[in-house]
Amino acid sequence: MPQNWQKLTDLTGNREFLVERVRLEDSDIVIEGSFELPPLARLSMEDQIFVTAFIQSDGSIKETERLFGVSYPTIKSRLKKIAQQLEFVQLDAAPSKSEVLNRLEKGEISVDDALELLK
């Protein structure tokens, strides 16, 4: 029987830890190694519940206010606090000038492409 995630969170006291063994629940397959938890799993149980509720309400702050019985500023503050704990990836991050020039020098992009990227 799997251990309750809340118990694991309580045991670790919000300290970082690595998972070293994973067993597929419906088979005898075991994977050993060193695995970091995904960012959302590193949140406290309360924050995980909050994020789940927020997502289930389609990201509606009004609906989340209703679910938790708190105000808009409280929801915004909680979201900001959680966001600060997560590492975000910029999907459309503009390349730096040196990256563009390096790509141009290597012939990976044309002069026109480089000029467009530097705008």
Query: Which pLDDT score, from 0 to 100, does residue 89 have?
Result: 63
Distance CA 117, CA 112 (A): 9
Same domain assignment for residues 21 and 79: yes
Q: Residue 76: its pLDDT value, please? A: 94
| Whether 16 contacts 42, CB under 8 Å | yes
- Tell me, what's the pLDDT at 1? 41
Each residue of 8-48: pLDDT tens digit? 777 777 677 788 888 888 888 999 988 887 888 888 888 99
pLDDT value for 5: 67
* Max avg pLDDT among 9-18, 31-40, 52-61, 94-103: 52-61
Co-location of 55 and 99 in the same domain:
no
CATH of the domain at 35: 1.10.10
Distance from C-alpha of 78 to C-alpha of 76, rounded to nearest angstrom: 5
User: Are 80 and 96 within one domain?
Assistant: no
**What's the number of domains the chain is made of?**
2
* pLDDT at residue 63 greater than cutoff 80: yes
Q: Are residues 110 and 70 in the same domain?
A: no
Two structure tokens written together for 117: 């990227």
Average pLDDT, the chain: 85
CB neighbour list of residue 16: distance below 8 Å, 6 or more residues apart: 42
User: Based on the domain organization, do 115 and 66 belong to the same domain?
Assistant: no
Residues in the chain: 119
Q: Which domain holds residue 75?
A: 5-85
What are 77's two structure tokens?
Answer: 């503050």
Predicted local distance difference test score (pLDDT) of residue 17: 77
Judgement on whether residues 64 and 39 belong to the same structural domain of the protein: yes
